[in-house]
Amino acid sequence: MKLPNIINELKSPKEVENFIKDLCTPSEIKAINERWEVAQLLYKKDKSYREIAAELKTSTATVTRVARFLFSESNNGYQNAFKRIK
């Protein structure tokens, strides 16, 4: 069974959180959370890449990478997440 299917089978946000804690190292979880924070600020489109990097104390490379997946790639993962939480 593939990872997205497993996550989809979990019954609550707490189960998903605990699964992610078992699956990922604390550093990986921190990086994922950081990317999500970057994506949220990019989605608002009211700050520059440098402003976002400074605010979140991350690299402009991370901001640029997230922006590429948010605005240019065809996966639409971030876009679909934003549509769901709107």
**Domain contains 28:** no
**Domain contains 53:** yes
**Domain contains 5:** no
Residue 82 to residues 18, 42, 54, 61, Cα–Cα distance (Å): 23, 12, 23, 22
The count of other CB atoms within 10 Å of the CB of residue 70 is: 21
What the block records as the tokens of 24 is 């990922």
pLDDT in tens, the chain (86 residues): 999 999 999 999 999 999 999 999 999 999 999 999 999 999 999 999 999 999 999 999 999 999 999 999 999 999 999 999 98
**Domain contains 17:** no
**Domain contains 40:** no
**Domain contains 59:** yes
**Domain contains 72:** yes
**Domain contains 51:** yes
* Domains in the chain, number: 1
Structural domain for 72, as ranges: 46-86
**What gap in Å lies between CA 42 and CA 35, rounded to an integer?**
10
| Residues in contact with 60: Cβ distance below 8 Å, sequence separation at least 6, in sequence order | 49, 50, 53
